[in-house]
Copies of this chain bind each other. A is one copy, B any other.
Amino acid sequence: MQYIDGGVCAAKGFSAAGIWCGVKANSSPAKKDLALIVAEVPCSAAGIFTKNRVKAAPVLFDIEQLKGGKARVIAANSKNANACAPEGMENARRMAAAAAAAAGVDVSEVVVSSTGVIGQRLNVEAIEKGLPEAAKALSASAQGSDDAANAIMTTDTVKKEFALETTVGGKTVRIGGIAKGSGMIHPNMGTMLCYITTDCAISSPMLKKALLAANALSFNRISVDGDTSTNDSCVVLASGLAGNAEITAEGADYAAFLEGFTALCIDLARSMAADGEGAKHLITCQIKGAKTVEQAEIIGKSVIGSSLTKAAIFGCDANWGRVLAAMGYSGEDFDPEQVDVAFASAAGRVEVCKDGRGLAFDEDLAKTVLTEKEVVIDVTMREGDASATCWGCDLTYDYVRINGDYRT
């Protein structure tokens, strides 16, 4: 397994584009607001979507579209979420019809996404005008993926794009993805859009199975602010052009694919947590020695979701008491007197709590450790031998600034 360039265009059979069509206000240089991803052949497809009771129109539309497990075109706009918006479903359908016409496929093969402000009418006319232009700009080069990754960004500060190749059934298979997500991020997915392409030959049911398995270890283990959005969508398309024997059941081939696919999803998920709105730190919380993986995950999510822990990491303050408090209110039962905590980073490691009690530690070293961009909160319990890793970010002045006036 090794990393390669190309994002969603790395796998055989995919091209992508990103343009400015006018959903975002004009600016110089123009900020892209419309992404298009097209497969040259029909694909196995799978998607997972927000669990929020309030679902955006494109989410409801896509859930129907993907019931058959096939798709080959993805169109997505940023700046407007088309959620709780007038004519929401009608505009989602118009966007899909325009994408189908532009790409020359049947509308049944199209999924659409929107991300941005909730409650305002989508400027679908701009999208209808823009899609033929986006189709003209389609490129199978790395630039195509780059443009698409840029076009789905809202408050993101860096684009999220990864690709890797691995071997499945003796053939080289490529898996690549782009994502956006910065605020309204919480386990059970966030305000994230994520598109993954692969040329692995895999049936729709097995692709869906792989997506659910990888999601549980990646997108469901990140949190920026505890807010689960109305628009979260992750869609994967598999063109089958790698030439491997189609995966239709579990076995060595499925395991090889899943390993690479999960690694890619974790990369995308971590990059969203690291680019959380206003974030100065990526926080990785490792829970070891739990009774079960579920327990480890629930406790880890409670720690990365704690506003007080997040603010302490922003202040580079080794305030481990907040870690224990967050573990304690997770709802899980455990012995607080059997918990060790350490903070670690590229700058070193400092043990701060042993058996639920504070250790004397070098405050200067702790400050140095916590000043790094990537910080690990390393928790060891003595309940069992299960573990889980979750990712979050710190709570900063900039998070408040960004969200104090997002609409204007």
Contacts and interface: CB of A to CB of B under 8 A. Distances in A.
Interface of A: 51-55, 81, 83-86, 117-120, 183-184, 186, 188, 225-230, 305-308, 311-312, 314-315, 317, 319-322, 324-330, 332-334, 336, 353, 356-358, 395-397, 399-408
A357 B317 contact: no
26 contacts: A52-B328, A53-B328, A53-B332, A54-B336, A84-B321, A84-B324, A84-B358, A118-B322, A118-B325, A119-B321, A119-B357, A119-B358, A184-B308, A225-B308, A226-B306, A227-B307, A227-B329, A228-B328, A230-B325, A311-B399, A311-B403, A314-B404, A317-B408, A396-B400, A397-B397, A397-B401
A4 to B, nearest CB: 36
Contacts of A396: 400
A54 B118 contact: no
Contact of A225 (B228, B307, B312, B405): B307
B400 A395 contact: yes
Contacts of A328: 52-55, 228, 230
Contacts of A400: 311, 314, 395-397, 399-400
B357 A226 contact: no
Nearest to A52: B328
Identical copies of this chain, number: 2
Nearest to A229: B325
B227 A52 contact: no
Given A54-B328, A400-B396, A118 B321 contact: yes
